[in-house]
A and B are shown apart, each in its own frame.
Chain A
Amino acid sequence: EVQLVESGGGLVQPGGSLRLSCAASGFTFSTYWMHWVRQAPGKGLVWVSRIKSDDSSTSYADSVKGRFTISRDNAKNTLYLQMNSLRAEDTAVYYCGRGDTRSIGYWGQGTLVTVSS
């Protein structure tokens, strides 16, 4: 069974940093592209970032470019999102997802990030 479990969310002050993790199991993690998608309270889904299976390429939404860094450790079956210079508008539930045929076939349960003083 495919499982994705996010962790690392919490309350952080504006300008602060946070690192999210996504532990993957039930599939060969090293062969799949992975994504981060976020959802502000009561709002829709917004794609944040993507990393290729072998870590050779990454892509970011303009709103997070230069502040967020996606990475992965295929030996530990874990995806990461390092978030720096956080803003109030980054407040959201962050989901990790497995890339499948130009979509996200499996999603984690999400972790809430709240940026507030």
Chain B
Amino acid sequence: ETGVTQTPRHLVMGMTNKKSLKCEQHLGHNAMYWYKQSAKKPLELMFVYNFKEQTENNSVPSRFSPECPNSSHLFLHLHTLQPEDSALYLCASSQDLQGNTDTQYFGPGTRLTVL
């Protein structure tokens, strides 16, 4: 499925680097999400955007900075990360946050390794 794309698919970075993850959805949705999935841990919601406005920040450290320039694109800017931030970062989109049957569509994820 190519409805939600993420780049890069794999990223290795040092703790002092600055990098960005990109997510793009081609589904005409208005809500976008960032999730983190660490090894053997549940999927953790990080941020939620609805019509380009951030509606949820699930107590995420400031070294993760999201950006949503329009309803189709979502970025996650990374700086001064820690090795424990190594994980699979998943982007998702849904029609919006108001529908009674809102379904999320996920991208393939970015496998991040922090050295």
A and B bound?
no
Chain A contacts to B: CB under 8 angstroms: none
Chain B contacts to A: CB under 8 angstroms: none
